[in-house]
Amino acid sequence: MDAPPMLPLLRPVRSGNAFEETVERLLQAIKLGVVAHGEKLPPERELAAQLGISRVTLREAIRALQDASFLDVRRGRYGGAFVVYEPPSPGTGDLRRAVKAMGQGDLEDALTFRMAVECGAAEVLASAELTPAQRGTLTRRLADVNEAAPSEYRRLDTAFHLSIAELTGSSLLTAACADARLRVTDLLNAIPVLLPNIEHASVQHAAIVDAILARDPEAARRAVAEHLEGTAALLRGFLS
Amino acid sequence: MDAPPMLPLLRPVRSGNAFEETVERLLQAIKLGVVAHGEKLPPERELAAQLGISRVTLREAIRALQDASFLDVRRGRYGGAFVVYEPPSPGTGDLRRAVKAMGQGDLEDALTFRMAVECGAAEVLASAELTPAQRGTLTRRLADVNEAAPSEYRRLDTAFHLSIAELTGSSLLTAACADARLRVTDLLNAIPVLLPNIEHASVQHAAIVDAILARDPEAARRAVAEHLEGTAALLRGFLS
DNA sequence: ATCCATTGGTCTGTTTCCAGACTTTTAACG
DNA sequence: CGTTAAAAGTCTGGAAACAGACCAATGGAT
Protein backbone atom coordinates (compact mmCIF):
# COMPACT_ATOMS: atom_id res chain seq x y z
CA MET A 1 0.00 0.00 0.00
CA ASP A 2 2.83 2.37 0.88
CA ALA A 3 4.47 4.04 -2.05
CA PRO A 4 7.74 2.20 -2.68
CA PRO A 5 10.90 4.27 -2.35
CA MET A 6 11.58 6.14 -5.54
CA LEU A 7 15.21 6.82 -4.83
CA PRO A 8 17.07 3.56 -5.25
CA LEU A 9 20.19 5.04 -3.73
CA LEU A 10 18.52 5.60 -0.44
CA ARG A 11 18.38 1.94 0.32
CA PRO A 12 18.87 0.50 3.80
CA VAL A 13 22.17 1.26 5.48
CA ARG A 14 22.04 -1.78 7.67
CA SER A 15 20.24 -4.96 6.86
CA GLY A 16 18.66 -4.88 10.29
CA ASN A 17 19.56 -7.02 13.21
CA ALA A 18 23.24 -7.97 13.49
CA PHE A 19 22.46 -11.27 15.14
CA GLU A 20 19.98 -12.43 12.53
CA GLU A 21 22.16 -11.22 9.74
CA THR A 22 25.05 -13.21 11.12
CA VAL A 23 23.01 -16.36 11.48
CA GLU A 24 21.95 -15.96 7.89
CA ARG A 25 25.50 -15.48 6.70
CA LEU A 26 26.86 -18.48 8.50
CA LEU A 27 23.95 -20.61 7.43
CA GLN A 28 24.53 -19.72 3.84
CA ALA A 29 28.23 -20.40 4.10
CA ILE A 30 27.36 -23.81 5.47
CA LYS A 31 24.67 -24.58 2.93
CA LEU A 32 26.89 -23.43 0.10
CA GLY A 33 29.53 -25.79 1.35
CA VAL A 34 32.07 -23.02 1.75
CA VAL A 35 32.77 -24.76 5.00
CA ALA A 36 32.13 -28.40 4.27
CA HIS A 37 30.73 -31.12 6.49
CA GLY A 38 33.20 -32.04 9.22
CA GLU A 39 35.26 -28.89 8.83
CA LYS A 40 35.20 -26.17 11.39
CA LEU A 41 34.63 -22.46 11.32
CA PRO A 42 37.55 -20.18 12.08
CA PRO A 43 38.09 -19.44 15.80
CA GLU A 44 35.51 -17.10 17.25
CA ARG A 45 37.83 -14.17 17.71
CA GLU A 46 39.08 -14.36 14.17
CA LEU A 47 35.66 -14.91 12.64
CA ALA A 48 34.14 -12.06 14.61
CA ALA A 49 36.83 -9.77 13.22
CA GLN A 50 36.19 -10.94 9.66
CA LEU A 51 32.48 -10.41 10.00
CA GLY A 52 32.97 -7.04 11.63
CA ILE A 53 30.90 -7.90 14.68
CA SER A 54 31.63 -8.49 18.33
CA ARG A 55 32.40 -11.88 19.67
CA VAL A 56 29.28 -11.78 21.78
CA THR A 57 27.03 -11.36 18.79
CA LEU A 58 28.87 -14.03 16.86
CA ARG A 59 28.53 -16.42 19.73
CA GLU A 60 24.80 -15.88 19.89
CA ALA A 61 24.58 -16.74 16.21
CA ILE A 62 26.73 -19.83 16.60
CA ARG A 63 24.63 -20.88 19.53
CA ALA A 64 21.48 -20.60 17.43
CA LEU A 65 23.01 -22.74 14.69
CA GLN A 66 24.12 -25.22 17.31
CA ASP A 67 20.59 -25.47 18.67
CA ALA A 68 19.37 -26.01 15.13
CA SER A 69 21.90 -28.85 14.71
CA PHE A 70 23.96 -27.20 12.02
CA LEU A 71 27.05 -26.95 14.17
CA ASP A 72 28.74 -28.99 16.83
CA VAL A 73 30.77 -26.82 19.13
CA ARG A 74 33.68 -28.35 21.00
CA ARG A 75 35.89 -26.50 23.40
CA GLY A 76 39.51 -26.79 24.30
CA ARG A 77 42.52 -26.74 22.06
CA TYR A 78 41.72 -28.15 18.60
CA GLY A 79 38.08 -27.45 19.38
CA GLY A 80 35.84 -25.14 17.41
CA ALA A 81 32.49 -24.99 15.69
CA PHE A 82 32.28 -28.02 13.42
CA VAL A 83 29.81 -28.27 10.59
CA VAL A 84 27.38 -31.09 11.18
CA TYR A 85 24.95 -30.23 8.43
CA GLU A 86 24.91 -32.40 5.35
CA PRO A 87 23.28 -31.20 2.17
CA PRO A 88 19.83 -32.73 1.90
CA SER A 89 19.59 -35.65 -0.45
CA PRO A 90 18.52 -34.04 -3.70
CA GLY A 91 14.85 -33.57 -4.31
CA THR A 92 13.99 -33.99 -0.69
CA GLY A 93 13.24 -30.36 -0.04
CA ASP A 94 10.03 -28.67 -0.94
CA LEU A 95 10.69 -26.18 -3.69
CA ARG A 96 7.36 -24.45 -3.41
CA ARG A 97 7.95 -23.79 0.24
CA ALA A 98 11.41 -22.44 -0.48
CA VAL A 99 10.00 -20.12 -3.11
CA LYS A 100 7.24 -18.93 -0.86
CA ALA A 101 9.87 -18.17 1.76
CA MET A 102 11.53 -15.69 -0.56
CA GLY A 103 8.59 -14.30 -2.52
CA GLN A 104 7.83 -14.55 -6.19
CA GLY A 105 9.07 -11.11 -7.16
CA ASP A 106 12.29 -11.69 -5.30
CA LEU A 107 12.86 -14.85 -7.29
CA GLU A 108 12.78 -13.02 -10.61
CA ASP A 109 14.94 -10.31 -9.10
CA ALA A 110 17.51 -12.81 -7.93
CA LEU A 111 17.59 -14.68 -11.23
CA THR A 112 18.01 -11.46 -13.19
CA PHE A 113 20.71 -10.27 -10.86
CA ARG A 114 22.56 -13.52 -11.12
CA MET A 115 22.33 -13.50 -14.88
CA ALA A 116 23.77 -10.01 -15.06
CA VAL A 117 26.68 -10.39 -12.66
CA GLU A 118 27.77 -13.83 -13.77
CA CYS A 119 27.63 -12.88 -17.43
CA GLY A 120 29.52 -9.72 -16.62
CA ALA A 121 32.17 -11.59 -14.69
CA ALA A 122 32.70 -14.11 -17.47
CA GLU A 123 33.06 -11.33 -20.03
CA VAL A 124 35.55 -9.48 -17.94
CA LEU A 125 37.55 -12.59 -17.37
CA ALA A 126 37.44 -13.51 -21.05
CA SER A 127 38.75 -10.06 -21.89
CA ALA A 128 41.75 -10.40 -19.63
CA GLU A 129 45.04 -12.09 -20.19
CA LEU A 130 45.28 -14.99 -17.79
CA THR A 131 48.39 -16.36 -16.18
CA PRO A 132 49.05 -20.08 -16.49
CA ALA A 133 48.18 -20.41 -12.81
CA GLN A 134 44.80 -18.80 -13.39
CA ARG A 135 44.11 -21.03 -16.35
CA GLY A 136 45.04 -23.97 -14.18
CA THR A 137 42.66 -22.96 -11.44
CA LEU A 138 39.83 -22.63 -13.88
CA THR A 139 40.33 -25.99 -15.54
CA ARG A 140 40.90 -27.60 -12.17
CA ARG A 141 37.58 -26.35 -10.84
CA LEU A 142 35.87 -27.51 -13.99
CA ALA A 143 37.34 -30.97 -13.57
CA ASP A 144 36.27 -30.99 -9.92
CA VAL A 145 32.64 -30.49 -10.87
CA ASN A 146 32.76 -33.14 -13.53
CA GLU A 147 34.25 -35.68 -11.16
CA ALA A 148 31.96 -34.74 -8.31
CA ALA A 149 30.03 -37.29 -6.34
CA PRO A 150 26.32 -36.41 -6.33
CA SER A 151 26.42 -35.26 -2.73
CA GLU A 152 29.27 -32.90 -3.55
CA TYR A 153 27.87 -31.65 -6.82
CA ARG A 154 26.24 -28.44 -5.67
CA ARG A 155 29.22 -27.43 -3.61
CA LEU A 156 31.71 -27.88 -6.40
CA ASP A 157 29.36 -26.29 -8.91
CA THR A 158 29.23 -23.26 -6.65
CA ALA A 159 32.99 -23.24 -6.35
CA PHE A 160 33.33 -23.35 -10.12
CA HIS A 161 30.97 -20.46 -10.69
CA LEU A 162 32.56 -18.38 -7.99
CA SER A 163 36.05 -19.01 -9.26
CA ILE A 164 35.16 -17.14 -12.44
CA ALA A 165 34.42 -14.03 -10.44
CA GLU A 166 37.39 -14.54 -8.15
CA LEU A 167 39.79 -14.80 -11.05
CA THR A 168 38.82 -11.31 -12.24
CA GLY A 169 40.59 -10.09 -9.11
CA SER A 170 37.69 -7.81 -8.21
CA SER A 171 36.50 -8.45 -4.70
CA LEU A 172 33.41 -6.35 -5.31
CA LEU A 173 32.48 -8.56 -8.22
CA THR A 174 33.22 -11.69 -6.25
CA ALA A 175 30.98 -10.53 -3.45
CA ALA A 176 28.21 -9.74 -5.92
CA CYS A 177 28.39 -13.18 -7.51
CA ALA A 178 28.49 -14.85 -4.13
CA ASP A 179 25.46 -12.86 -3.11
CA ALA A 180 23.64 -13.79 -6.28
CA ARG A 181 24.38 -17.44 -5.77
CA LEU A 182 23.29 -17.32 -2.16
CA ARG A 183 19.91 -16.06 -3.18
CA VAL A 184 19.17 -19.14 -5.22
CA THR A 185 20.90 -21.77 -3.09
CA ASP A 186 17.87 -22.80 -1.12
CA LEU A 187 15.97 -23.26 -4.33
CA LEU A 188 18.69 -25.30 -5.98
CA ASN A 189 19.03 -27.46 -2.91
CA ALA A 190 15.34 -28.21 -3.15
CA ILE A 191 15.45 -29.73 -6.60
CA PRO A 192 16.96 -33.09 -7.48
CA VAL A 193 20.31 -33.47 -9.15
CA LEU A 194 19.35 -35.39 -12.26
CA LEU A 195 21.81 -37.06 -14.53
CA PRO A 196 20.59 -35.42 -17.77
CA ASN A 197 20.84 -32.04 -16.12
CA ILE A 198 24.36 -32.71 -14.92
CA GLU A 199 25.45 -33.81 -18.35
CA HIS A 200 23.86 -30.77 -19.92
CA ALA A 201 25.48 -28.49 -17.38
CA SER A 202 28.79 -30.18 -17.91
CA VAL A 203 28.76 -29.36 -21.62
CA GLN A 204 27.85 -25.76 -20.85
CA HIS A 205 30.54 -25.46 -18.21
CA ALA A 206 33.07 -26.65 -20.72
CA ALA A 207 31.83 -24.11 -23.25
CA ILE A 208 32.24 -21.34 -20.68
CA VAL A 209 35.79 -22.34 -19.88
CA ASP A 210 36.66 -22.73 -23.55
CA ALA A 211 35.36 -19.25 -24.34
CA ILE A 212 37.25 -17.70 -21.46
CA LEU A 213 40.49 -19.43 -22.34
CA ALA A 214 39.99 -18.47 -25.99
CA ARG A 215 39.57 -14.86 -24.86
CA ASP A 216 36.22 -14.59 -26.54
CA PRO A 217 33.97 -12.40 -24.35
CA GLU A 218 30.94 -12.74 -26.60
CA ALA A 219 31.06 -16.49 -26.57
CA ALA A 220 31.62 -16.46 -22.83
CA ARG A 221 28.58 -14.30 -22.35
CA ARG A 222 26.46 -16.52 -24.52
CA ALA A 223 27.64 -19.66 -22.77
CA VAL A 224 26.96 -18.31 -19.30
CA ALA A 225 23.61 -16.90 -20.36
CA GLU A 226 22.54 -20.22 -21.82
CA HIS A 227 23.67 -22.09 -18.75
CA LEU A 228 21.89 -19.83 -16.31
CA GLU A 229 18.83 -19.71 -18.53
CA GLY A 230 18.77 -23.47 -18.27
CA THR A 231 18.91 -23.37 -14.49
CA ALA A 232 16.21 -20.73 -14.36
CA ALA A 233 14.01 -22.75 -16.68
CA LEU A 234 14.56 -25.82 -14.53
CA LEU A 235 13.47 -23.91 -11.48
CA ARG A 236 10.44 -22.46 -13.18
CA GLY A 237 9.60 -25.89 -14.52
CA PHE A 238 9.49 -27.38 -11.06
CA LEU A 239 7.14 -24.64 -10.05
CA SER A 240 4.47 -25.24 -12.64
CA MET B 1 50.66 -8.52 7.17
CA ASP B 2 47.58 -10.35 8.42
CA ALA B 3 46.46 -13.12 6.18
CA PRO B 4 43.51 -11.78 4.22
CA PRO B 5 40.26 -13.68 4.74
CA MET B 6 40.21 -16.70 2.48
CA LEU B 7 36.50 -17.19 2.65
CA PRO B 8 34.92 -14.47 0.57
CA LEU B 9 31.52 -15.29 1.94
CA LEU B 10 32.51 -14.38 5.43
CA ARG B 11 32.69 -10.72 4.64
CA PRO B 12 31.58 -8.01 7.07
CA VAL B 13 27.99 -8.11 8.18
CA ARG B 14 27.80 -4.44 8.93
CA SER B 15 29.81 -1.77 7.27
CA GLY B 16 30.67 -0.31 10.64
CA ASN B 17 29.23 2.78 12.19
CA ALA B 18 25.61 3.58 11.30
CA PHE B 19 26.15 7.31 11.55
CA GLU B 20 29.19 7.42 9.29
CA GLU B 21 27.62 5.05 6.85
CA THR B 22 24.57 7.26 6.64
CA VAL B 23 26.62 10.39 6.08
CA GLU B 24 28.41 8.60 3.28
CA ARG B 25 25.18 7.49 1.68
CA LEU B 26 23.59 10.87 1.74
CA LEU B 27 26.73 12.52 0.52
CA GLN B 28 26.88 10.19 -2.41
CA ALA B 29 23.23 10.72 -3.23
CA ILE B 30 23.93 14.43 -3.26
CA LYS B 31 27.11 14.22 -5.28
CA LEU B 32 25.48 11.90 -7.76
CA GLY B 33 22.73 14.43 -8.17
CA VAL B 34 20.06 11.93 -7.21
CA VAL B 35 18.77 14.83 -5.20
CA ALA B 36 19.66 17.88 -7.24
CA HIS B 37 20.67 21.34 -6.12
CA GLY B 38 17.72 23.17 -4.59
CA GLU B 39 15.69 20.03 -4.05
CA LYS B 40 15.10 18.61 -0.63
CA LEU B 41 15.54 15.23 0.94
CA PRO B 42 12.45 13.29 1.93
CA PRO B 43 11.09 14.12 5.41
CA GLU B 44 13.19 12.75 8.23
CA ARG B 45 10.75 10.11 9.35
CA GLU B 46 10.28 8.79 5.87
CA LEU B 47 13.97 8.86 5.02
CA ALA B 48 14.91 7.17 8.28
CA ALA B 49 12.51 4.38 7.43
CA GLN B 50 13.95 4.00 3.93
CA LEU B 51 17.47 3.86 5.23
CA GLY B 52 16.51 1.45 7.96
CA ILE B 53 17.90 3.58 10.73
CA SER B 54 16.42 5.59 13.56
CA ARG B 55 15.49 9.20 13.19
CA VAL B 56 18.06 10.16 15.77
CA THR B 57 20.90 8.66 13.79
CA LEU B 58 19.64 10.18 10.57
CA ARG B 59 19.43 13.58 12.18
CA GLU B 60 23.03 13.35 13.33
CA ALA B 61 24.07 12.61 9.78
CA ILE B 62 22.01 15.46 8.38
CA ARG B 63 23.47 17.73 11.00
CA ALA B 64 26.97 16.80 9.91
CA LEU B 65 26.17 17.53 6.28
CA GLN B 66 24.61 20.80 7.32
CA ASP B 67 27.77 21.78 9.17
CA ALA B 68 29.74 20.87 6.07
CA SER B 69 27.49 23.12 3.97
CA PHE B 70 25.98 20.41 1.85
CA LEU B 71 22.50 20.90 3.21
CA ASP B 72 20.35 23.76 4.37
CA VAL B 73 17.77 22.62 6.88
CA ARG B 74 14.59 24.64 7.28
CA ARG B 75 11.85 23.81 9.70
CA GLY B 76 8.13 24.27 9.58
CA ARG B 77 5.68 23.22 6.94
CA TYR B 78 7.31 23.07 3.50
CA GLY B 79 10.62 22.91 5.29
CA GLY B 80 13.13 20.11 4.96
CA ALA B 81 16.77 19.44 4.22
CA PHE B 82 17.58 21.29 1.01
CA VAL B 83 20.60 20.47 -1.09
CA VAL B 84 22.97 23.43 -1.22
CA TYR B 85 25.89 21.63 -2.82
CA GLU B 86 26.65 22.34 -6.43
CA PRO B 87 28.85 20.00 -8.41
CA PRO B 88 32.34 21.44 -8.61
CA SER B 89 33.15 23.13 -11.89
CA PRO B 90 34.77 20.38 -13.92
CA GLY B 91 38.49 19.94 -13.66
CA THR B 92 38.67 21.82 -10.40
CA GLY B 93 39.18 18.78 -8.23
CA ASP B 94 42.43 17.04 -7.77
CA LEU B 95 42.19 13.62 -9.33
CA ARG B 96 45.34 12.30 -7.77
CA ARG B 97 44.06 13.18 -4.33
CA ALA B 98 40.75 11.51 -5.07
CA VAL B 99 42.53 8.37 -6.21
CA LYS B 100 44.78 8.34 -3.22
CA ALA B 101 41.70 8.60 -1.02
CA MET B 102 40.42 5.31 -2.37
CA GLY B 103 43.60 3.37 -3.02
CA GLN B 104 45.03 2.09 -6.27
CA GLY B 105 43.84 -1.48 -5.94
CA ASP B 106 40.36 -0.31 -5.09
CA LEU B 107 40.28 1.73 -8.27
CA GLU B 108 40.88 -1.30 -10.47
CA ASP B 109 38.40 -3.25 -8.40
CA ALA B 110 35.75 -0.58 -8.86
CA LEU B 111 36.34 -0.25 -12.59
CA THR B 112 36.17 -4.00 -13.07
CA PHE B 113 33.05 -4.24 -11.00
CA ARG B 114 31.40 -1.46 -12.93
CA MET B 115 32.30 -3.04 -16.23
CA ALA B 116 30.77 -6.33 -15.19
CA VAL B 117 27.51 -5.11 -13.74
CA GLU B 118 26.75 -2.50 -16.36
CA CYS B 119 27.51 -4.86 -19.21
CA GLY B 120 25.39 -7.46 -17.51
CA ALA B 121 22.51 -5.07 -17.04
CA ALA B 122 22.59 -3.96 -20.67
CA GLU B 123 22.57 -7.53 -21.87
CA VAL B 124 19.69 -8.48 -19.68
CA LEU B 125 17.74 -5.48 -20.83
CA ALA B 126 18.53 -6.15 -24.46
CA SER B 127 17.27 -9.70 -24.02
CA ALA B 128 13.93 -8.57 -22.70
CA GLU B 129 10.85 -7.41 -24.47
CA LEU B 130 10.30 -3.78 -23.57
CA THR B 131 7.00 -1.99 -23.26
CA PRO B 132 6.56 1.24 -25.18
CA ALA B 133 6.75 3.10 -21.89
CA GLN B 134 10.13 1.53 -21.13
CA ARG B 135 11.42 2.36 -24.56
CA GLY B 136 10.22 5.88 -24.02
CA THR B 137 12.03 6.19 -20.71
CA LEU B 138 15.26 5.00 -22.25
CA THR B 139 15.20 7.37 -25.21
CA ARG B 140 14.09 10.19 -22.95
CA ARG B 141 17.07 9.72 -20.66
CA LEU B 142 19.35 9.57 -23.65
CA ALA B 143 17.96 12.83 -24.96
CA ASP B 144 18.36 14.38 -21.52
CA VAL B 145 22.08 13.68 -21.50
CA ASN B 146 22.54 15.00 -25.00
CA GLU B 147 20.74 18.24 -24.20
CA ALA B 148 22.45 18.64 -20.85
CA ALA B 149 24.11 21.85 -19.78
CA PRO B 150 27.72 21.19 -18.73
CA SER B 151 26.91 21.63 -15.08
CA GLU B 152 24.16 19.05 -15.37
CA TYR B 153 26.07 16.62 -17.51
CA ARG B 154 27.36 14.23 -14.87
CA ARG B 155 24.03 14.03 -13.14
CA LEU B 156 22.10 13.18 -16.27
CA ASP B 157 24.79 10.82 -17.43
CA THR B 158 24.40 8.98 -14.15
CA ALA B 159 20.66 8.92 -14.55
CA PHE B 160 21.00 7.47 -18.02
CA HIS B 161 23.32 4.70 -16.93
CA LEU B 162 21.19 3.85 -13.94
CA SER B 163 18.00 3.74 -15.96
CA ILE B 164 19.37 0.78 -17.88
CA ALA B 165 19.64 -1.19 -14.66
CA GLU B 166 16.32 0.08 -13.37
CA LEU B 167 14.49 -0.97 -16.50
CA THR B 168 15.52 -4.58 -15.94
CA GLY B 169 13.19 -4.48 -12.97
CA SER B 170 15.77 -6.06 -10.71
CA SER B 171 16.33 -3.98 -7.61
CA LEU B 172 19.40 -6.00 -6.72
CA LEU B 173 20.92 -5.17 -10.06
CA THR B 174 19.97 -1.54 -9.74
CA ALA B 175 21.62 -1.35 -6.35
CA ALA B 176 24.76 -2.98 -7.72
CA CYS B 177 25.01 -0.50 -10.59
CA ALA B 178 24.37 2.41 -8.28
CA ASP B 179 27.07 1.13 -6.00
CA ALA B 180 29.49 0.76 -8.88
CA ARG B 181 28.80 4.27 -10.07
CA LEU B 182 29.21 5.67 -6.58
CA ARG B 183 32.67 4.24 -6.37
CA VAL B 184 33.89 6.24 -9.34
CA THR B 185 31.89 9.43 -8.85
CA ASP B 186 34.53 11.29 -6.94
CA LEU B 187 37.00 10.49 -9.65
CA LEU B 188 34.73 11.54 -12.46
CA ASN B 189 33.90 14.75 -10.66
CA ALA B 190 37.59 15.51 -10.52
CA ILE B 191 38.18 15.48 -14.26
CA PRO B 192 36.98 18.11 -16.71
CA VAL B 193 33.98 17.63 -18.95
CA LEU B 194 35.58 18.12 -22.34
CA LEU B 195 33.63 18.59 -25.53
CA PRO B 196 35.35 15.82 -27.51
CA ASN B 197 34.69 13.41 -24.69
CA ILE B 198 31.06 14.38 -24.55
CA GLU B 199 30.62 13.91 -28.26
CA HIS B 200 32.35 10.57 -28.11
CA ALA B 201 30.22 9.48 -25.20
CA SER B 202 27.12 10.66 -26.98
CA VAL B 203 27.79 8.38 -29.94
CA GLN B 204 28.41 5.47 -27.61
CA HIS B 205 25.27 6.17 -25.60
CA ALA B 206 23.28 6.12 -28.80
CA ALA B 207 24.86 2.82 -29.78
CA ILE B 208 23.89 1.34 -26.44
CA VAL B 209 20.30 2.42 -26.76
CA ASP B 210 20.10 1.22 -30.36
CA ALA B 211 21.40 -2.19 -29.41
CA ILE B 212 18.96 -2.50 -26.54
CA LEU B 213 16.00 -1.42 -28.61
CA ALA B 214 17.10 -3.78 -31.38
CA ARG B 215 17.17 -6.57 -28.80
CA ASP B 216 20.75 -7.39 -29.59
CA PRO B 217 22.49 -8.41 -26.35
CA GLU B 218 25.87 -8.89 -27.93
CA ALA B 219 25.90 -5.47 -29.49
CA ALA B 220 24.68 -3.98 -26.23
CA ARG B 221 27.50 -5.62 -24.36
CA ARG B 222 30.07 -4.42 -26.82
CA ALA B 223 28.72 -0.88 -26.78
CA VAL B 224 28.72 -0.64 -22.99
CA ALA B 225 32.13 -2.24 -22.76
CA GLU B 226 33.58 0.23 -25.23
CA HIS B 227 31.99 3.14 -23.47
CA LEU B 228 33.23 2.15 -20.04
CA GLU B 229 36.62 1.27 -21.41
CA GLY B 230 36.78 4.80 -22.71
CA THR B 231 35.96 6.26 -19.33
CA ALA B 232 38.47 4.02 -17.63
CA ALA B 233 41.14 5.01 -20.13
CA LEU B 234 40.31 8.67 -19.58
CA LEU B 235 40.76 8.23 -15.84
CA ARG B 236 44.00 6.34 -16.23
CA GLY B 237 45.20 8.96 -18.68
CA PHE B 238 44.71 11.73 -16.19
CA LEU B 239 46.73 9.74 -13.72
CA SER B 240 49.86 9.34 -15.79
C1' DA C 1 52.06 -37.52 34.07
C1' DT C 2 52.57 -32.78 33.40
C1' DC C 3 52.61 -28.68 30.83
C1' DC C 4 50.57 -25.19 28.13
C1' DA C 5 48.89 -23.22 23.93
C1' DT C 6 44.59 -22.81 21.93
C1' DT C 7 40.05 -22.74 21.99
C1' DG C 8 35.29 -21.92 23.72
C1' DG C 9 32.64 -19.79 27.91
C1' DT C 10 31.51 -15.91 31.07
C1' DC C 11 31.21 -11.40 33.06
C1' DT C 12 31.15 -6.14 33.36
C1' DG C 13 30.85 -1.62 32.06
C1' DT C 14 30.24 1.44 28.07
C1' DT C 15 28.61 3.11 23.78
C1' DT C 16 25.56 3.16 20.10
C1' DC C 17 21.19 2.93 18.41
C1' DC C 18 16.40 2.77 18.66
C1' DA C 19 11.17 3.63 19.40
C1' DG C 20 8.01 6.76 20.41
C1' DA C 21 5.91 10.62 22.64
C1' DC C 22 5.94 15.43 22.80
C1' DT C 23 7.22 20.50 21.37
C1' DT C 24 8.13 24.23 18.23
C1' DT C 25 8.28 26.44 13.92
C1' DT C 26 6.61 27.75 9.58
C1' DA C 27 4.08 28.98 5.36
C1' DA C 28 0.10 28.23 2.67
C1' DC C 29 -4.92 28.65 2.86
C1' DG C 30 -9.40 30.21 3.99
C1' DC D 1 -5.39 37.32 10.38
C1' DG D 2 -6.01 33.35 12.45
C1' DT D 3 -6.03 28.16 11.43
C1' DT D 4 -3.77 24.19 10.38
C1' DA D 5 -0.98 20.69 8.46
C1' DA D 6 3.58 19.34 7.77
C1' DA D 7 7.82 19.65 8.87
C1' DA D 8 12.06 19.93 12.06
C1' DG D 9 13.59 19.78 17.05
C1' DT D 10 13.76 17.60 21.83
C1' DC D 11 13.60 14.27 25.44
C1' DT D 12 13.54 9.72 27.85
C1' DG D 13 13.92 4.97 28.79
C1' DG D 14 15.43 0.76 26.99
C1' DA D 15 17.55 -2.63 23.93
C1' DA D 16 21.39 -4.04 21.14
C1' DA D 17 26.07 -4.24 20.29
C1' DC D 18 30.66 -3.66 21.66
C1' DA D 19 35.39 -3.97 23.91
C1' DG D 20 38.12 -6.21 26.78
C1' DA D 21 39.41 -8.84 30.65
C1' DC D 22 39.16 -13.14 32.70
C1' DC D 23 37.79 -18.37 33.40
C1' DA D 24 37.66 -23.25 31.95
C1' DA D 25 38.42 -27.17 29.17
C1' DT D 26 40.98 -29.96 26.12
C1' DG D 27 44.40 -32.67 23.88
C1' DG D 28 48.97 -32.79 21.79
C1' DA D 29 53.74 -32.19 23.11
C1' DT D 30 57.38 -32.95 26.44
How confident is the model over B130-155, as a mean pLDDT? 93
pLDDT, tens digit (0-9, with 9 covering 90-100), for B178-235: 889 988 888 887 788 788 889 999 999 999 999 999 999 999 999 999 999 999 998 8
DSSP string, chain A: -PPPPS-TTS--SS-S-HHHHHHHHHHHHHHTTSS-TT-BPPPHHHHHHHHTS-HHHHHHHHHHHHHTTSEEEE-STT-EEEE---PPPTT-S-HHHHHHHH-HHHHHHHHHHHHHHHHHHHHHHHHSPPPHHHHHHHHHHHHHHHT--HHHHHHHHHHHHHHHHHHTT-HHHHHHHHHHHHHHHHHHHTS---HHHHHHHHHHHHHHHHHHHTT-HHHHHHHHHHHHHHHHHHHHHHH-
A174 touches chain B (CB under 8 A): yes
pTM: 0.86
Q: Is the C-beta of residue B74 closer than 7 Å to nucleic acid chain C?
A: yes
Q: Is the C-beta of residue B39 closer than 7 Å to nucleic acid chain D?
A: no
Q: How much is the pLDDT for B94?
A: 67
pLDDT, tens digit (0-9, with 9 covering 90-100), for A99-153: 666 766 788 999 999 999 999 999 999 999 999 999 999 999 999 999 998 888 8
How confident is the model over B132-144, as a mean pLDDT? 96
Residue A5 pLDDT exceeds 60: no
pLDDT above 90 covers a percentage of chain A that reads: 64
Residue A2 pLDDT exceeds 70: no
A216 touches chain B (CB under 8 A): no
Chain A 56-85, CB < 7 Å to strand C: 56, 59, 62, 73-81
Q: Which residues neighbour A222 within 8 Å (Cβ) at sequence distance 6 or greater?
A: A211, B218
B16 touches chain A (CB under 8 A): yes
Give the model's confidence band at B237: pLDDT under 50 very low, under 70 low, under 90 confident, else very high.
Answer: confident
pLDDT, tens digit (0-9, with 9 covering 90-100), for A35-68: 889 999 999 999 999 999 999 999 999 999 999 9
Which residues belong to CATH 1.10.10.10 in chain B? 18-83
Q: Is the C-beta of residue A76 closer than 7 Å to nucleic acid chain D?
A: yes
Which residues belong to CATH 1.20.120.530 in chain A? 95-239
Q: Which CATH architecture does the domain made up of A18-83 adopt?
A: Orthogonal Bundle (1.10)
Q: How far is the CA of A77 from the C1' of C1 (A)?
A: 19
Residue A31 pLDDT exceeds 90: no
Q: How much is the pLDDT for B173?
A: 95
The residue lying closest to nucleotide C6, measuring its CA against C1', is A77
Please report the residues numbered 40 through 79 in chain B whose beta carbons come closer than 8 angstroms to any beta carbon of chain A.
42, 47, 50-53
Minimal CA–CA distance to B145: which of B93, B184, B203? B203
What's the CATH fold of domain B95-239? Answer: Four Helix Bundle (Hemerythrin (Met), subunit A) (1.20.120)
